[in-house]
């Protein structure tokens, strides 16, 4: 996607909602955090030029910008996935828009299956790193030099300081925030038990169908990224039971209260930094 289209989309959000310094992408079943925002303004995806529309249950389909703990926060309620048929340009367009709105810190959340048998549904896991087994990369094609270099470094895909903040703030709240490695599989089918055995051998603790494209593009844009997974189910083959999306949504709903407390505490701890790049 060219810069003209990205700027046009960003200007539509800016005119409706204003700038932001922190953004939060909400995963399946975690919608509702936008209700924490003070003096919110919102815009539906259908009103943003070039934006796709989320087709997955549990994803609302709007940007909401407001204040949390004296910081301007943009909440993306409803994300896009490659398995919906969207190109990587479309899946990651919201992150490019966030960058142009001044976002410097991105918190990416998701619902994930536990590969690590020490996890349980309801756990919150801070991401240490990712494994990309999708065969896709959102930076393929012509580099958008305005945002970042041709070959961005991924050594610290998830910011070490932000990870420490999340774990520390969780401890203060009595939340046992775990740490782990996330594996991106394209979907939309859930993984097979054989795939989960492979993923475990490779070193992953969690598996899911999102997050990595947004992480790569956010790092390309120079953002600091914090990834948090909500464990909604044990991955295929760990339990002798099938997996369905309704259970994923129900598990996400059950952890919403804990999730909101952790988000508020993390955002409150972030240093203030705002700039507008449009």
Residue 22 has pLDDT above 70, yes or no: yes
Per-residue model confidence (pLDDT) at position 274: 40
Share of the chain above pLDDT 70, in %: 95
Please give the mean pLDDT across all residues of the chain: 91
Is residue 52 a part of any domain in this protein?
Answer: yes
Q: How far is CA 70 from CA 24, 36, 106, in A?
A: 15, 12, 17
Asked if the bond preceding 167 is cis, omega within 30° of 0, the reply is no
Residue 30 in contact with residue 111, Cβ under 8 Å? yes
The pLDDT of residue 241 is above 60: yes
Q: Is there a domain that residue 261 lies in?
A: yes
Domain that holds residue 121: 3-269
Q: Is residue 276 scored above 50 in pLDDT?
A: no
On whether residue 276 sits in a domain, the answer given is: no
Q: Does residue 278 form part of some domain?
A: no
C-alpha distances in Å from residue 229, one per residue of 20, 119, 129, 182, 241: 23, 11, 12, 8, 22
Q: What is the band of 273 on the pLDDT scale with cuts at 50, 70, 90?
A: very low
166 vs 243, residue with greater confidence: 166
Q: What is the pLDDT of residue 59?
A: 55
What confidence tier does 249 reach under pLDDT thresholds 50, 70, 90? confident
Quick one: which H or E segment has residue 207?
A: strand 206-208
Question: What digits encode the pLDDT tens for the residues 162-213?
Answer: 999 999 999 999 999 999 999 999 999 999 999 999 999 999 999 999 999 9
Residue 40 has pLDDT above 90, yes or no: yes
Domain count, the chain: 1
Asked whether the CA dihedral 235, 177, 27, 139 is positive or negative, the reply is negative
Full-model pTM: 0.93
The tokens for 146 are 């305005």
- Within a domain: 131: yes
Residue 172 belongs to a domain with what CATH number?
Answer: 3.40.50.1580
Of 41, 44, 38, nearest to 19 by C-alpha is 41
- Residue 93 is assigned to a structural domain of this protein: yes
Q: Which residue, chain included where needed, has tokens 């895909």?
A: 157
Judged against a pLDDT cut of 90, whether residue 28 lies above it is answered with no
Retrieve residue 250's tokens.
Answer: 């129900």
* Residues whose CB is less than 8 angstroms from the CB of residue 22 and which lie 6 or more positions away in sequence, other chains included: 68, 71, 72, 73, 74, 103, 104, 105, 106, 107, 267, 270
Tell me the per-residue pLDDT of 94-134, one tens digit each, with 9 for 90 and over.
999 999 999 999 999 999 999 999 999 999 999 999 999 99
Portion of the chain with pLDDT greater than 90, in percent: 79
Task: List the catalytic residues.
Answer: 28, 59, 81, 83-84, 111, 209-210, 233, 245
* pLDDT-wise least confident of 2-6, 13-17, 248-252: 248-252
pLDDT grade, residue 58 (50/70/90)?
A: low
Span 80-93, average pLDDT: 94
* Across 81-90, 100-109, 124-133, 238-247, least confident range: 238-247
Beta strands in 45-104, from DSSP E residues, in sequence order: 62-68, 71-77
255 domain residue, yes or no? yes
DSSP state of 118: T
């Amino acid at each position: 996607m060219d810069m003209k289209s990205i700027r046009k989309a960003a200007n539509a959000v800016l005119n409706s909602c204003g700038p932001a310094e922190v953004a939060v992408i909400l995963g399946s079943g975690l919608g509702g955090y936008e209700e924490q925002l003070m003096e919110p303004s919102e815009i539906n995806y259908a009103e943003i030029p070039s934006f796709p529309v989320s087709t997955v249950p549990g994803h609302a389909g709007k940007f909401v910008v407001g204040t949390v703990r004296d910081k301007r926060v943009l909440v993306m309620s409803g994300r896009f996935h490659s398995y919906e048929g969207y190109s990587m340009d479309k899946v990651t367009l919201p992150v490019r828009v966030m960058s142009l709105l001044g976002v410097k810190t991105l918190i990416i959340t998701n619902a994930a299956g536990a590969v690590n048998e020490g996890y349980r549904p309801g756990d919150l896991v801070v991401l240490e790193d990712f494994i990309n087994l999708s065969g896709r990369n959102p930076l393929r094609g012509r580099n958008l030099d305005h945002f970042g270099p041709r070959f961005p470094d991924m050594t610290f895909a998830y910011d070490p300081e932000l990870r420490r903040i999340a774990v520390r703030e969780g401890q203060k709240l009595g939340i046992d925030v775990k740490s782990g490695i996330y594996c991106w599989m394209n979907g939309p089918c859930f993984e097979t038990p054989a795939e989960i055995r492979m993923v475990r051998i490779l070193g992953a603790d969690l598996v899911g169908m999102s997050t990595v494209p947004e992480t790569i593009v956010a790092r390309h844009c120079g953002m600091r990224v914090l990834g948090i997974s909500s464990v909604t189910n044990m991955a295929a083959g760990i339990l002798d039971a099938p997996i369905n999306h309704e259970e994923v949504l129900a598990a996400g709903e059950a952890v919403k209260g804990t999730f909101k407390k952790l988000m508020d505490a993390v955002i409150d701890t972030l240093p203030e930094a705002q700039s507008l790049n449009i």
